[in-house]
């Protein structure tokens, strides 16, 4: 069968100029840069564990949380690193300022964090870091007992976890 004039012309054109191809080198460069960007920026965000039982107070704080021992307080229990330590009702019923169960657990956590340090390094240490995630409805009496117990266990760098609130004035001219 004889080819049409158009088919012959197209065949000649493709022989002369070749078929169009995809340049994969620049595409691979773009994806490599994208992967590096995502790897660098994904590790910069520290997130606290979320709990539906705890509603954190709101704040305009700009500082990101550090990875520390977490004491979570809701209306029923006091938890350290996700493990229940004491019941809130029992703590509030007790008149002592120190919570013995929490003190014991925090000393265990301190011993675990000091495991790799020598005695001189431990003596130089000014205190350990802890983050308290407390429900916004817990009584101040309970919070005071928890803070006293933490300072008794040498946790002097205490951070309070809060929800970051968006600024409402950002659209207004002041």
User: pLDDT tens, 85-113?
Assistant: 899 899 899 888 889 998 999 888 888 87
Nearest CA to 76 out of 62, 92, 60, 95 is that of: 92
- The Cα 32–Cα 15 span in angstroms is 35
pLDDT of residue 116: 58
Query: What is the domain count for the chain?
Result: 2
Q: Looking at the domain assignment, is residue 86 inside a domain?
A: yes
Q: Looking at the domain assignment, is residue 52 inside a domain?
A: no
Q: Above 70 in pLDDT, residue 24?
A: yes
21/82 same-domain check: no
Q: Looking at the domain assignment, is residue 172 inside a domain?
A: no
pLDDT of residue 17: 76
- The Cα 62–Cα 70 span in angstroms is 19
Q: Looking at the domain assignment, is residue 1 inside a domain?
A: no
Nearest CA to 133 out of 152, 157, 159, 108 is that of: 159
To the nearest 10°, report the CA torsion of 99, 101, 107, 108: -160
Question: What's the N-to-C CA distance of the chain in angstroms?
Answer: 83
Q: Looking at the domain assignment, is residue 111 inside a domain?
A: yes
Q: Looking at the domain assignment, is residue 47 inside a domain?
A: no
Residue 98 burial class via C-beta count within 10 angstroms: exposed 0-12, middle 13-18, buried 19 and up: middle
User: What contacts 147, CB < 8 A, 6 or more positions away?
Assistant: 132, 158
**What is the pLDDT confidence band of residue 174, given thresholds at 50, 70 and 90?**
very low
- The Cα 16–Cα 115 span in angstroms is 74
66/148 same-domain check: yes
**What is the pLDDT confidence band of residue 123, given thresholds at 50, 70 and 90?**
very low
Q: Looking at the domain assignment, is residue 132 inside a domain?
A: yes
Which domain, by its residues, includes 125? 58-164
14/65 same-domain check: no
pTM of the model: 0.57
Enclosing H/E stretch for 34:
helix 24-42
Q: Are strands 69-73 and 129-134 parallel, antiparallel or unpaired?
A: parallel
């Amino acid at each position: 069968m004889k080819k049409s004039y158009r088919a012959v012309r197209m065949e000649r054109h493709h022989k002369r100029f070749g078929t169009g191809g995809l340049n994969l080198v620049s595409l691979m460069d773009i994806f490599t840069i994208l992967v590096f960007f995502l790897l660098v920026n994904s590790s910069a965000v520290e997130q606290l564990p979320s709990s539906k039982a705890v509603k954190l107070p709101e704040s305009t704080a700009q500082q990101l949380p550090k990875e520390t021992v977490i004491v979570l307080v809701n209306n029923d229990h006091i938890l350290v690193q996700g493990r229940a330590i004491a019941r809130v009702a029992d703590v509030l019923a007790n008149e002592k300022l120190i919570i013995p169960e929490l003190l014991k657990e925090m000393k265990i956590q301190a011993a675990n964090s000091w495991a790799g340090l020598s005695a001189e390094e431990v003596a130089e240490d000014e205190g350990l870091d802890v983050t308290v995630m407390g429900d916004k409805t817990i009584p101040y009496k309970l919070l005071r007992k928890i803070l006293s117990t933490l300072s008794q266990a040498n946790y002097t760098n205490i951070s309070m976890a809060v929800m970051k609130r968006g600024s409402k004035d950002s659209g207004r001219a002041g």
